Amino acid sequence: MSSIFHTEFQPLTIQPQEIEEKSFEIITEELGEHAYTPEQYRVAQRVIHATADFEFGHSMIFHPDAIQAGIQAIQRGESIVADVQMVQVGISKPRLESFGGDVKVYISDADVMAEAKKENTTRAIISIRKAVREVQGGIYAIGNAPTALLELIRLVKEGIAKPSLVIGVPVGFVSAAESKEELAKLDIPFITNIGRKGGSPVAVASVNALSLMAKELAGTK
């Protein structure tokens, strides 16, 4: 059988760091002009790197204090609250642990599942309520559950939740875009994006970009 591909594949032999650096060069070249600050761009660039989707190079929205708030929260050793295990797994733990931080996720806890069943609601909603009770401040990284983001927004409005930063980038067709629109109306530090796109890779890349900057800044002191 003849192949439609005529270019012979050659495996890469360069180091992972070199591949990443080359990828970032390609992203910068292909994205072109953008409206982000250098620090915001580092987040957007890493999101594009994680998704291969250049739309994030123009659709991400940053509260003016988001980058500083995120870096400072990490340097204080505050916890990262993830909505699902996929986000928890992807976040670089050593950088957080060097500041005394960790990543928490509650959605599969037995008490969360039992309460969600009792109240006939989603585990995502109950997990956010538990997180707010157990974590003071913290960075909330929500990549999958719009209901989790909407519940967090409600708790912020009621003065119950006081996160240091909300990374709200859920993916989906039901309430995903709307939940991000509501987040962008809040006067708290947030990172989000316009539209239905998002997901675990976006949330993970955002946290990892912030922890990299936090580590770099700490290293200069």
Beta-bridge mates of residue 168: 142, 192
- Spell out a b/e string for 28-42, using b for 16 or more CB atoms within 10 Å of the CB, else e: eeebeeeebeebbbb
Counting beta carbons within 10 angstroms of the beta carbon of residue 187, is it exposed (0 to 12), middle (13 to 18) or buried (19 or more)? exposed
Catalytic residue among 34, 49, 58, 63: 49
Token digits of residue 132? 């707010």
- Asked if residues 180 and 169 have their Cβ atoms less than 8 Å apart, the reply is yes
Counting beta carbons within 10 angstroms of the beta carbon of residue 219, is it exposed (0 to 12), middle (13 to 18) or buried (19 or more)? exposed
58 is a catalytic site residue:
no
Residues involved in catalysis? 49
